[in-house]
Amino acid sequence: MKIEVGTSYYPENWTRERIIRDAELMKNAGLSYVRMGEFAWSHMEPEEGKFQFEWLEEAIRIFGEQGIRSVLCTPSAAAPAWLCKKHPSILRMDRNGNKAYFGIRHHTCYTSKIYRKYVKKITTELADYFKDDPYIAAWQIENEPGATPFSQCFCEDCQIEFRQYLHKKYQTIEALNQAWRAQFWSGEYTCWDEIELNELLDNQISCRGLETRRFRSRIQAEFVHFQAAIIRDKMPDTMIGTNNYCLSDRYEVFSSLDFAGNDVYPNYRSEETMMLPYINKMACTLYSGLKPGTPPWIMETPPNPGWPMKDLTKFFFWLYAGYGYNKIFYFPWGNAMTSGEKIHLSVVDAFGNTGPQYESVKSLIAEANQVLAPYPELPLPHSPCAIIRDHDAEWMYGGCKISWLEQYYKMFCCSYISLCKNVDFAEIVSKDTDWSAYKLIVLPVQNHISKSLAEKMKNFVKNGGILIMNGASGCFDEYGNQTDCIHPEHVNDLFGLEIGENMPCNANPPVFENNPEFYRKRPVVKGVLNGKEVRGTFSVWTSYLRLTGAKTLLSFENSQLAGLPFCTINDYGKGAAIYYNANYIDQELCDQLIRFATEKAGLTPISYPEDVSIIKRGNLAFLFHFGEEQVEFSTTLRGKNRLGNALHQDKIKLSPQDIALIELETEQ
Amino acid sequence: MKIEVGTSYYPENWTRERIIRDAELMKNAGLSYVRMGEFAWSHMEPEEGKFQFEWLEEAIRIFGEQGIRSVLCTPSAAAPAWLCKKHPSILRMDRNGNKAYFGIRHHTCYTSKIYRKYVKKITTELADYFKDDPYIAAWQIENEPGATPFSQCFCEDCQIEFRQYLHKKYQTIEALNQAWRAQFWSGEYTCWDEIELNELLDNQISCRGLETRRFRSRIQAEFVHFQAAIIRDKMPDTMIGTNNYCLSDRYEVFSSLDFAGNDVYPNYRSEETMMLPYINKMACTLYSGLKPGTPPWIMETPPNPGWPMKDLTKFFFWLYAGYGYNKIFYFPWGNAMTSGEKIHLSVVDAFGNTGPQYESVKSLIAEANQVLAPYPELPLPHSPCAIIRDHDAEWMYGGCKISWLEQYYKMFCCSYISLCKNVDFAEIVSKDTDWSAYKLIVLPVQNHISKSLAEKMKNFVKNGGILIMNGASGCFDEYGNQTDCIHPEHVNDLFGLEIGENMPCNANPPVFENNPEFYRKRPVVKGVLNGKEVRGTFSVWTSYLRLTGAKTLLSFENSQLAGLPFCTINDYGKGAAIYYNANYIDQELCDQLIRFATEKAGLTPISYPEDVSIIKRGNLAFLFHFGEEQVEFSTTLRGKNRLGNALHQDKIKLSPQDIALIELETEQ
Amino acid sequence: MKIEVGTSYYPENWTRERIIRDAELMKNAGLSYVRMGEFAWSHMEPEEGKFQFEWLEEAIRIFGEQGIRSVLCTPSAAAPAWLCKKHPSILRMDRNGNKAYFGIRHHTCYTSKIYRKYVKKITTELADYFKDDPYIAAWQIENEPGATPFSQCFCEDCQIEFRQYLHKKYQTIEALNQAWRAQFWSGEYTCWDEIELNELLDNQISCRGLETRRFRSRIQAEFVHFQAAIIRDKMPDTMIGTNNYCLSDRYEVFSSLDFAGNDVYPNYRSEETMMLPYINKMACTLYSGLKPGTPPWIMETPPNPGWPMKDLTKFFFWLYAGYGYNKIFYFPWGNAMTSGEKIHLSVVDAFGNTGPQYESVKSLIAEANQVLAPYPELPLPHSPCAIIRDHDAEWMYGGCKISWLEQYYKMFCCSYISLCKNVDFAEIVSKDTDWSAYKLIVLPVQNHISKSLAEKMKNFVKNGGILIMNGASGCFDEYGNQTDCIHPEHVNDLFGLEIGENMPCNANPPVFENNPEFYRKRPVVKGVLNGKEVRGTFSVWTSYLRLTGAKTLLSFENSQLAGLPFCTINDYGKGAAIYYNANYIDQELCDQLIRFATEKAGLTPISYPEDVSIIKRGNLAFLFHFGEEQVEFSTTLRGKNRLGNALHQDKIKLSPQDIALIELETEQ
């Protein structure tokens, strides 16, 4: 087992001598990869049709000869000046005709036919030129394709493609009007040309808003897929990935790629929050779930993220390793001499001088090679608990009310935090993955529940799973409109209840603190969970429930709903389905509910401090202490600690940011 | 006497079966009206010139046959897609040429000649089709015409009409330059085409800003008036109104209509403020003053406004009734299946199922019918105190300084709150109404005082009225420019003083709290009112006063003005005129000043708690308790309580949100 | 010695009678100047090519005959309506094509060739008409030319001129690409037409951003220079100046003018801050440094700035006098009748009536004439301490990181405040002035240090000066790109150290307070200064230092840098060079460091209260007490107090806002 380390490199910025020197430094530090080319279009194609790749080829060879293989990138993230000047229509344009301008990266539109033509041309030339290069290890498509404000593009190509997308999906304008219930607010269309893309934050016509988001996600995925296909055609056996694909359906885009690249910048968070366990676990776990079973890559992460207080490079290196990453790329190798990335934390400085970061990366690689050498390739970490991250559900949820647009994420986090507190490590997966390996699944508000999803939910519970769902789930159709049937559609028997009318609770912010004063003015729910009385508030939405078999876990204490059920459990097959009747609940209440569900699933909630994370890959247990105070706790883990000094008889003592790597006596 | 209840309904969204079912439910609940059609243009005219009203006619008949009459709306609030596509020039456009887009309601411009042509056509067709329909009770023009951001439209039609408005008013460009004193900052025009509409918040050229506001108000009124004229032509005897006409001169627009429709959403306010007495009194009272003597309508109000904590439907129902509304429309009957109004509080749910709201409305109607049956049509409530709400004064005031744009409203509220605290119920009226029924009138800053207004003020006081005025009143001409004459113009003898130079007091925020620390750094005024020493601060503006007959009530305690008069009273005829020399004063000081004025007017300030409101219509006294604590107070009200359990010997005890309806033994 | 007083006047707004009356009032009050014409274009040229100056000539004569001479302004700040209508291209335009509109002043573009043509024409006509007028004392070009949002103009002329500016500077596109290291992020240009002006706040292409700022500054300066040249051509001996030239390089623009006009509005600040000593000292001192040796003018300042609490006219009058201003213009004489300047504090009111302000100005002039009569022309105040204000350094600093854009000014203020606390009065000068008169110079971050600046710095220290520098100075080239050489470039020997790699410290806000809690989470530095232990934090940036001769003053207490030097001193020639390794330090730490440097420079830090300022012009010492509490302190000043009652044996007692004017027995 080996963790391979790479770095980002920009040969277009440096002299041959500097490249040679850098390659030697990298070899000396034990690096395995360089990633190159992602912003080099103007250097690859200095004028239209005149391609020059020799400088890149030479760099690849210089590195290759030092044993460092290249991850080559397509340059579509930064169109050159001559192209923007010649074809201004490729620039992103807002609904008022205001165009992005050259020099800010991602200034072009993914939909633009002309832009795609030029991207196709240079990608083809690039793949063709390098297809037999022995030093190329993998390809990255684009760079952070999710970082573009593409969702704010309203260029003519976007409008036309949107209409074609709708035309293909609905076939006739009458079908669209009917599906969208378009007579509402005089919204009926008479022909496709009348339809415009929705503004990002406008949800007055919610179906148009939902389809706009689906369309943009599709286009963004296609933009990566079509480039990947060109590479694949020339190099059928290479590895292809991309990095940081947000604002669209990540599961869709990575489905056609070989690996998911994760750009993690712990130091972009505030000093106050960068060491919170759940933030780091979520950052690592999200990308493991994009291609289940395939190790994700850390495509970018800074050296020395704890600068200036502590050097946390080692902590994060092992954290990534523990969470399943076998490849870690530091960004950048050296700082740029100019512009927006002039002053970063970098492995060497802008002039190629080594310093603390270089030394720290070098010794880390040496240590990791030594520590991990005895072990075979480790399996990825696995949890019996998962939470579903579903983009279509998020878009539909956001479309209900303007004020709800950012709430799906917060709601997701609330449950995820509770999972971390109770089971330490939980997986984040798509609703389309195989659920059979899990014992507990949290499914945040799923306004639309299709027949097939309902079937999957029932099978999961029938076979012994514990499922938690909340909010107005199963109340809408696939267009996000209300459905006149028993709610939650298709799964009312699974949950043993019927959800009544949708009732907004004047958009109050979610409450994550136990504030007695607040309780007097707000609806409160209460009950007994895990042997103790619990109380809490909820927000944004609720409803009347009619139980048809479920048992009450929590009920309303006050308000017009006093005495009615709020949270229920229904035994179904070998498992049980839990439901709570709101979008949010207090964090503490959520913690208790997840604890209850964990035990119901036959799992034992963790007994070690929340600041500690323990994760297993095969017979290795990785221990991390995120906190600022020394902790000591009992453990059943038995084995030798291969990293650090933490004792572990029956107690483990960890100092702040301590790491331990225990070779388990038996796989536990 | 009967309170008639209606609801909003959208037959274009529902099947015939559903409409039949809803009509039965409405009849069963005792409803009298449905309001329909206000967003149904695309369903009324699915393509240009092809009108279909049969579906609407059928709905009207279904309701009519259940005894429920229709209020029909013109559909001009939501132009259909085909019209926007064919004539993009009808869309609102900002000064930079950015157009509104289809799907957000009110996306069109009120000035647009083309839009008016289409509105005229469909309104004419609609009126013609339904002119003999026996089930039509009334018409509503547009929907919430004040809700449009029309003031941000700068389309070509707006610019042209503005120039014509100015041309007609000033006749020659020289006259305009002279009236506007346009040589200031090189502002002289040489022809009409050089003049552009003012940006909403730009007051650098204050005359242009003032005329822009007057122009927009005029256009908005005309847009309603021309539609009303079409209906009136076909149905000379029908009732015509509209609802929520803000951002322009409400008194002007309603002058040509038969009733004022008020959309009141108590739950749009925060939970913290929705039960403040003065907010609710103001919401009710403002619309009573729009057409004095004519009962206003609650055109929209939600069922269950206190959801989820308390069901306040009954409280607000009787509040509206007490304040003179004989018709109350709940919005909506059932939720929409889609888009922006998917999750409201509604009478029945989206699928037509009845629940708590339905039951509560139903029992309320039954109870009201029973309780009110013994009484004849009740007179509207009347107060001997009034405050003047004047739009032109507001615009002129706002144009003085950028920072003053929002202050008129706050200043108005400060006086209104003091009135509530002292006399419970005060009327809000236009300066053009008949003032003879009042004993006390508050006239907030009136920068321009015309001769006729001055005459009216003098007559009012001469005949025994007490008049309170403040700020730089009577200092400007009708264009909002300074006038070189004795200030306040035309009324200096009425107030017995001359206002000196306009002096800004570095735009400090108004102070509504008695903060001793603050007093040391700010100008303070003091005096004796109601037998006790009072002190307070003021803000934004003041001046030197020269008294020519007035007596000092309050004088400056410190600052450069120490010892000079701040607030004065002048006996005039049988009454007196009070003036204070600032835009704002502290709330507590204002309370004392209004108390003083109240007693001066021969009225007895209320002795019951501020959280209680008592309002009389004929021999019925309506009592409301807005507060959260039980109160008990003495009263001279004698009679039987027809509603609720509140005792009333010589004391009345009211629980939170209690209502009482006392049949007075003698009209008191 | 005489302080001459003037005022702003707008004869275009008034009748001949009013002008005559005003002139008499001015004479009666002792005024010497009127400033006229700066917004009168529409009155000077009512239609294209038709010039009328007779009204202005008459006003000048009326005033002149009363002994009041005129400062005539060019009217380019407010283009008339006919010109904007005829040539819309002269209006400022943002990058999206949105144009400024008529009526807001400064609505036109300084680059516009057409606009310059019209400005040239009217300026020529104006100068020609008045060139022999005996009553003209001086000219003002434009009005507050820095107040325009010109930096947001992207009109075609701006783009073209920017390309020409670059073409001229770099000669070839290859040279530009090389200087800008343009291959970064695909930024290479192939022809000049591809280059667009940078958005103000975009720093992704930092060289383009820096050159955009330099270009705009140049254009703004040229706009003033070309007008000045026209006047100078006709009236070689007149005085020419302008006022409030910000947002560009003030030193550049005033280099070609005869005097610097300063518009100071103390009452534009909040009441809380308007009397802070450092704010007022900085406001006065900045403009003295623009043309060293030449007395600056107060071009606009309000009468009665402390209104309404205290009349501070006298305090500020003498403050200006003490700080070197011999001419003070009050703005305005009388309020406008209309628009944005309707309600100001003015000398007389809008109708020409005199009141407190007039009386206060009148008696002030009389008193000043009497008090100052015995003295000859006083020399300007001088300090042995200076701080460098460098615009190019500010722009380059801001271009490093988006979050740094506003930090240069705050960093500057931190040092300036420390100087005030230690030496009361410090000069603010350009790096290009003669430094030989100073003993202590603070040089805020100078990212680029040219050879000539390095030489100047070395000479200054060699000859005994103490120089304080901080941050990443000497690390960049003239284009703002990193330089591969020993840092700080050219001056590492002067400071006796080498600055290592640029290290950002997660953009924390600067800390101006001593917060122990905060210290635990942040890097802290400590040392012994002035005989006592000091500690503090720093922010935004730091680095590793290698000392090659310097001695450590402060070192890091914790963090990865613990034990390394933070602040150093290096003896060099007869002086010493101090360096601290961050952009900001805590205010208190900065105070101590400046105290240390002051003593090192052989100066004695002040022992009187910080709220007091003592400034000397020749044998007159001006004393000002800014504070709100009476103070008493010892002093070595000996002499008679010519103003006020403050005692001064060996102690001086000053009440709040007291002024004293001590005729020193010997020049001290």
Nearest to A47 among C97, C190, C484 (CB): C190
Across the interface, do A194 and B78 touch by the CB < 8 Å criterion? Answer: no
Mean pLDDT of chain A: 93
Question: Is B102 contained in some domain?
Answer: no
Question: Is C91 contained in some domain?
Answer: no
Q: Is B272 in contact with B173 (CB distance < 8 Å)?
A: no
Is C333's Cβ below 8 Å from some Cβ in B?
A: no
Is A86's Cβ below 8 Å from some Cβ in C?
A: no
Q: Residue B502: what pLDDT?
A: 85
- At A110-134, the pLDDT tens digits run 999 999 999 999 999 999 999 999 9
Arithmetic mean of pLDDT, A541-547: 94
- The tokens for C68 are 């009041």
Nearest to B400 among C82, C308, C343 (CB): C343
Q: Residue A405: what pLDDT?
A: 62
User: Is pLDDT at B518 greater than 60 in this prediction?
Assistant: no
Is A168's Cβ below 8 Å from some Cβ in C?
A: no
Q: Residue A377: what pLDDT?
A: 92
Report the gap between the CA of A104 and the closest CA in chain C (Å).
6
Q: Residue C510: what pLDDT?
A: 45
User: What CATH number does the domain containing A437 carry?
Assistant: 3.40.50.880
Quick one: A241 and A206 in the same domain? no
Question: Is B87 contained in some domain?
Answer: no
d(CA C411, CA C541): 12
Across the interface, do A105 and C559 touch by the CB < 8 Å criterion? Answer: no
Question: Is C103 contained in some domain?
Answer: no
- The tokens for B520 are 């040391």
Across the interface, do A343 and C196 touch by the CB < 8 Å criterion? Answer: no
Give A234's pLDDT tier (boundaries 50, 70, 90).
Answer: very high
Question: Is B232 contained in some domain?
Answer: yes
Arithmetic mean of pLDDT, B252-273: 86
Is B656's Cβ below 8 Å from some Cβ in A?
A: no
Report the gap between the CA of A567 and the closest CA in chain B (Å).
17
User: What CATH number does the domain containing C647 carry?
Assistant: 2.60.40
Is C401's Cβ below 8 Å from some Cβ in A?
A: yes
Which residue from B minimizes the CA distance to C41?
A: B186
Is B558's Cβ below 8 Å from some Cβ in C?
A: yes
Is C90's Cβ below 8 Å from some Cβ in B?
A: no
Q: Is A38 in contact with A10 (CB distance < 8 Å)?
A: no
Quick one: A354 and A418 in the same domain? no
- The tokens for C199 are 């958005």
Which ipTM did the prediction report?
0.94
Nearest to C194 among A82, A98, A338 (CB): A82
Residue A505 CB contacts under 8 Å (≥ 6 apart), including other chains:
A523, A538, A539, A540, A541, A542, A582, B307, B308
Task: Kindly state the percentage of chain B with pLDDT values over 70.
Answer: 95
Quick one: B288 and B360 in the same domain? yes
Is C10's Cβ below 8 Å from some Cβ in B?
A: yes
Neighbours of chain B (3+ CB pairs under 8 A): A, C
Quick one: A127 and A55 in the same domain? yes
Give B507's pLDDT tier (boundaries 50, 70, 90).
Answer: very low
Arithmetic mean of pLDDT, A325-336: 96
Report the gap between the CA of B193 and the closest CA in chain C (Å).
8
Quick one: A514 and A437 in the same domain? yes
Domain region containing C45: 4-79+109-149+224-372
Across the interface, do B105 and A185 touch by the CB < 8 Å criterion? Answer: yes
Nearest to B81 among A188, A203, A480 (CB): A188
User: Is pLDDT at A648 greater than 80 in this prediction?
Assistant: no
Across the interface, do A482 and B337 touch by the CB < 8 Å criterion? Answer: yes
- Looking at the structure of chain A, the number of domains it has is 4
Which residue from A minimizes the CA distance to B88?
A: A194
Sort out which chain B residues have CB atoms less than 8 A from A186's CB and list them. 39-43, 75, 78-80
User: Is pLDDT at B94 greater than 90 in this prediction?
Assistant: yes
- The tokens for A117 are 């033509």
Is B165's Cβ below 8 Å from some Cβ in A?
A: no
Using the CB atoms, write b or e for A300-312: b if 16+ within 10 Å. Answer: bbbbbbbbbbbbb
Quick one: B445 and B547 in the same domain? yes
Is B401's Cβ below 8 Å from some Cβ in A?
A: no
pTM of the model: 0.95
Sort out which chain A residues have CB atoms less than 8 A from B75's CB and list them. 186
Q: Is B371 in contact with B644 (CB distance < 8 Å)?
A: no
Across the interface, do A561 and B308 touch by the CB < 8 Å criterion? Answer: yes
Quick one: A516 and A423 in the same domain? yes
d(CA B256, CA B244): 15
Is B80's Cβ below 8 Å from some Cβ in A?
A: yes
- At B382-433, the pLDDT tens digits run 999 999 999 999 999 887 665 566 688 888 999 999 999 999 999 999 999 9
- At A422-463, the pLDDT tens digits run 999 999 999 999 999 999 999 999 999 999 999 999 999 999
Sort out which chain A residues have CB atoms less than 8 A from B10's CB and list them. 184
Arithmetic mean of pLDDT, A145-160: 88
In DSSP notation, B638-668 reads: -EEE-SS---BSSEEEE-TT-EEEEEESS--
Question: Is B123 contained in some domain?
Answer: yes
User: What CATH number does the domain containing C330 carry?
Assistant: 3.20.20.80
Arithmetic mean of pLDDT, A271-290: 89
Q: Residue A508: what pLDDT?
A: 52
Across the interface, do C522 and A309 touch by the CB < 8 Å criterion? Answer: yes
Report the gap between the CA of A656 and the closest CA in chain C (Å).
14
Least confident of A393-397, B116-120, C270-274, C330-334: C270-274
Question: Is B101 contained in some domain?
Answer: no
Q: Residue B244: what pLDDT?
A: 85
Quick one: B475 and B394 in the same domain? yes
Q: Residue C217: what pLDDT?
A: 93
d(CA B497, CA B504): 20
Is B484's Cβ below 8 Å from some Cβ in C?
A: yes
Number of residue pairs across A and B with CB atoms under 8 Å?
Answer: 153
**Alpha carbons within 13 A on the beta-carbon side of C141:** 31
Neighbours of chain A (3+ CB pairs under 8 A): B, C
Divide the 668 residues of chain C into consecutive groups of 10 and give the mean pLDDT of each group.
97 97 98 98 97 98 98 97 97 95 91 98 98 98 86 94 98 98 96 94 87 94 96 97 86 93 84 84 95 96 91 97 97 92 90 96 97 94 97 88 71 95 98 97 97 98 98 96 96 97 65 51 91 90 95 96 97 98 91 98 96 96 95 90 82 94 79
Number of residue pairs across B and C with CB atoms under 8 Å?
Answer: 157
R_g over Cα of chain A: 26
Nearest to A196 among B78, B101, B340 (CB): B101
- The tokens for B460 are 């009012």
* C-alpha distance from residue A643 to each of A564, A614, A620, A654, B75 (Å): 54, 14, 11, 12, 74
Report the gap between the CA of C355 and the closest CA in chain A (Å).
53
Looking at residue A613, what DSSP letter applies? E
- The tokens for A37 are 């080319």
Boundary residue ending a domain (B337, B372, B407): B372
Is B546's Cβ below 8 Å from some Cβ in C?
A: no
Quick one: B139 and B262 in the same domain? yes
Across the interface, do B205 and C12 touch by the CB < 8 Å criterion? Answer: no
Give B506's pLDDT tier (boundaries 50, 70, 90).
Answer: low
Boundary residue ending a domain (A580, A600, A620): A600
Is C628's Cβ below 8 Å from some Cβ in B?
A: no
Quick one: A313 and A234 in the same domain? yes
Mean pLDDT of chain B: 93
Which residues pair with residue A652 across a beta bridge?
Answer: A633, A648
Sort out which chain A residues have CB atoms less than 8 A from C523's CB and list them. 308-309
Nearest to B189 among C81, C104, C267 (CB): C81
Across the interface, do B351 and A559 touch by the CB < 8 Å criterion? Answer: no
Residue C423 CB contacts under 8 Å (≥ 6 apart), including other chains:
C383, C384, C385, C440, C598, C603, C605, C606
Arithmetic mean of pLDDT, B93-118: 94
Boundary residue ending a domain (A211, A241, A258): A211
Nearest to C42 among B96, B183, B400 (CB): B183
Give A509's pLDDT tier (boundaries 50, 70, 90).
Answer: very low
Quick one: C287 and C181 in the same domain? no
- At B304-317, the pLDDT tens digits run 998 888 999 999 99
Sort out which chain B residues have CB atoms less than 8 A from C78's CB and list them. 185-187
- The tokens for A549 are 């078999």
Using the CB atoms, write b or e for C519-545: b if 16+ within 10 Å. Answer: beebbbbbbebeeeebbbbbbbbbbbb
Question: Is A98 contained in some domain?
Answer: no
Quick one: C293 and C189 in the same domain? no
Is B78's Cβ below 8 Å from some Cβ in A?
A: yes
Residue B663 CB contacts under 8 Å (≥ 6 apart), including other chains:
B619, B620, B639, B640, B642
In DSSP notation, C227-277 reads: HHHHHHHH-TTSEEEEE---SS-HHHHHTTSSEEEEE--GGGS-TTTTT-H
Across the interface, do C39 and B194 touch by the CB < 8 Å criterion? Answer: no
